[in-house]
A and B are shown apart, each in its own frame.
Chain A
Amino acid sequence: AAGVIQSPRHLIKEKRETATLKCYPIPRHDTVYWYQQGPGQDPQFLISFYEKMQSDKGSIPDRFSAQQFSDYHSELNMSSLELGDSALYFCASSWTGANTEAFFGQGTRLTVV
């Protein structure tokens, strides 16, 4: 079965550079979630989209923005990168609705040097 696809898998950027992470949800899933996970930490919710509209917002820095496109893929744009942005970034997708399961992509490991 098709899973959530994230690209790139690994990314190395310098401080103050920009990065774009992409997420392709499971076909027919209409909700996308973005999470950031630092070493030894639990996933921290950044932002989610339902039907191409922002549906919820968590601890996403103002330097980050995200959107969901007409084909339901989503992109997380990160500017003015800082060393502390180094983390695993996960995307998950689900159907919307009361009792639906969310599945995670393999993640993008971002290293800021």
Chain B
Amino acid sequence: QKEVEQNSGPLSVPEGAIASLNCTYSDRVSQSFFWYRQYSGKSPELIMSIYSNGDKEDGRFTAQLNKASQYVSLLIRDSQPSDSATYLCAVRAANDYKLSFGAGTTVTVRA
């Protein structure tokens, strides 16, 4: 079983809708949580980081973290065609020198 699991895709949403992405992790000492966006053939681009329980909002993106449930999510509001990409959840444990990635969820925003 992977350390980081993401909801299987692909996820197709109409333009203007909310896209909801989920991620669970198995290592309870995980401390830092990230969402990366990756376009095909390009490098992962950091869009959100979250370190404490609760919500964190940045523009149209909201990350939610629940350490007790070992769950982190990403909401994309007012989805745009340019949001069509693969979203990678990444987790880093305390005193760890690596990011563990989920398999990614591919999002397609229909115009």
Contact = CB atoms under 8 A, between A and B. Distances in A.
Interface of A: 31, 33, 41-43, 45, 48, 50, 55-56, 58, 88, 90, 92, 96, 98-107, 109
Contact of B96 (A56, A92, A99, A106): A56
B14 to A, nearest CB: 25
A107 B97 contact: no
B82 interface: no
A42 B46 contact: no
Given A42-B103, A43-B88, A98-B31, A104 B43 contact: yes
Contacts, number: 60
Interface in B65-107: 88, 90, 92, 94, 96-104
Contacts of A99: 31-32, 49, 51
A101 B58 CA distance: 15
A106 B42 contact: yes
Interface of B: 31-32, 34, 36, 41-46, 49, 51, 88, 90, 92, 94, 96-104
Given A90-B43, A104-B44, A106-B43, A45 B32 contact: no
A105 B42 CA distance: 9
Given A42-B101, A48-B98, A104-B46, 17 more contacts: A41-B103, A43-B44, A45-B99, A45-B101, A56-B96, A92-B99, A96-B97, A98-B31, A98-B32, A98-B94, A99-B31, A101-B34, A101-B49, A104-B36, A104-B44, A106-B43, A109-B41
A111 B46 CA distance: 26
Given A99-B51, A100-B32, A102-B34, A33 B97 contact: yes
A45 B3 CA distance: 13
6 contacts: A43-B44, A45-B99, A50-B97, A99-B49, A104-B44, A107-B43
Contact of B98 (A33, A88, A104): A33
